[in-house]
């Protein structure tokens, strides 16, 4: 069974740092891009970052560029989100999601097909 | 303000057919695949439609997706009470300076 399990969410003070983890299982992790998406309370989904399957190419939303860093460990089948200089606007449930990859054609699509259950980050001011 | 525009809410009665629209531009929907996600209250989103009109296994054929030009739609026929949820469209937004994945603002479906 394909599974993504996030952890690391916590209450942190404004200006602080936090590292989220997402442990993957049930699929060949090293063959998939991975994403982080967040959702503030009562609000919609907002994409945060994406990393390719090798871990050597990442893209970020403008709101987090320069503050957040996505990385992965294919041996540990885990993707991370290092969050620095946190502000109240970063309070949200953070989901990791698997990228859409057609294993037959080996084509990588930008969409996501499997999501984790989320981990909650609360930044206090 | 999202670059993808969805109606905040739609409603229908059981058995009815409803559609949820998603309007974008040539920088996003016009040149990229559209995905649809469903989210029940307090739960994580799940993919409902991928690459415009493909249904993952387990999603009934009451759900269908389409795309035309810079707009996309999700249609739900034979509406059921358990379809009540939030629905999001999403796609890649091409930009020389800030390419990104973008979601619509979400549509709350109410089954009357």
pLDDT in tens, A64-73: 999 999 999 9
Give the pLDDT band (50/70/90) at residue B2. Answer: confident
Distance from CA of A15 to the nearest CA of B (A): 25
Residue to mutate among A61, A111, A115, with most B CBs inside 10 A, is: A111
Give the pLDDT band (50/70/90) at residue B97. Answer: confident
Name chain A contacts of B33, Cβ cutoff 8 Å: 109-111
Distance from CA of B53 to the nearest CA of A (A): 13
Residue-wise pLDDT for B31-78, tens only, equals: 999 999 999 999 999 999 999 999 999 999 999 999 999 999 999 999
% residues pLDDT > 70 (chain B): 100
What does the pLDDT read at residue B85? 98
Can you tell me the distance from the alpha carbon of A91 to that of A83, in angstroms, rounded to the nearest whole number?
Answer: 11
Tell me if A115 and B100 make a contact (CB, 8 A cut-off). Answer: no
Q: What is the mean pLDDT of residues A76-87?
A: 98
Distance from CA of A12 to the nearest CA of B (A): 22
Give the pLDDT band (50/70/90) at residue B103. Answer: very high
Give the pLDDT band (50/70/90) at residue B10. Answer: very high
Can you tell me the distance from the alpha carbon of B4 to that of B25, in angstroms, rounded to the nearest whole number?
Answer: 8
Q: What is the mean pLDDT of residues A35-58?
A: 97
Q: What is the mean pLDDT of residues A11-25?
A: 98
What does the pLDDT read at residue B96? 84
Tell me if A45 and B106 make a contact (CB, 8 A cut-off). Answer: yes
pLDDT at A41 over 90: yes
Name chain A contacts of B37, Cβ cutoff 8 Å: 45
pLDDT at A33 over 90: yes
Give the count of Cβ contacts less than 8 A between chain A and B: 63
Lowest mean pLDDT among A54-58, A91-95, B64-68, B92-96: B92-96
Give the pLDDT band (50/70/90) at residue A125. Answer: confident
Tell me if A59 and B105 make a contact (CB, 8 A cut-off). Answer: no
Tell me if B100 and A59 make a contact (CB, 8 A cut-off). Answer: yes
Can you tell me the distance from the alpha carbon of A33 to that of B88, in angstroms, rounded to the nearest whole number?
Answer: 21
Tell me if A112 and B35 make a contact (CB, 8 A cut-off). Answer: yes
Give the pLDDT band (50/70/90) at residue A12. Answer: very high
Tell me if B103 and A112 make a contact (CB, 8 A cut-off). Answer: no
Q: What is the mean pLDDT of residues A41-62?
A: 97
């Amino acid at each position: 069974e394909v599974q993504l399990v996030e952890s690391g969410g916590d209450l942190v003070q404004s200006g602080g740092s936090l590292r989220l983890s997402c442990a993957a299982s049930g699929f060949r992790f090293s063959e998939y891009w991975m994403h982080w998406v967040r959702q503030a309370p009562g609000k919609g989904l907002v994409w945060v970052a994406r990393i390719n399957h090798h871990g050597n190419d990442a893209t970020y939303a403008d709101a987090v560029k320069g503050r957040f860093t996505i990385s992965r460990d294919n041996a540990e089948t885990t993707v991370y989100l290092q969050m620095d200089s946190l502000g109240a606007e970063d309070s949200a449930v953070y989901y990791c999601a698997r990228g859409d990859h057609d294993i037959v054609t080996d084509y990588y699509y930008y969409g996501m097909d499997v999501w984790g259950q989320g981990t909650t980050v609360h930044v206090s001011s | 303000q999202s670059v993808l525009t969805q109606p905040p809410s739609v409603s229908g009665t059981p058995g009815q057919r409803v559609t949820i629209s998603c309007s974008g531009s040539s920088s996003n929907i016009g040149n990229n695949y559209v995905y649809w996600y469903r989210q029940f209250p307090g739960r994580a989103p799940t993919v409902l439609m991928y690459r415009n009109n493909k249904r993952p296994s387990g999603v009934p054929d009451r759900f269908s997706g389409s795309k035309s030009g810079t707009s996309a739609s999700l249609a739900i026929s034979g509406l059921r009470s358990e379809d009540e949820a939030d629905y999001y469209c999403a796609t890649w937004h091409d930009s020389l300076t800030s390419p990104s994945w973008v979601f619509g603002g979400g549509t709350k479906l109410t089954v009357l």
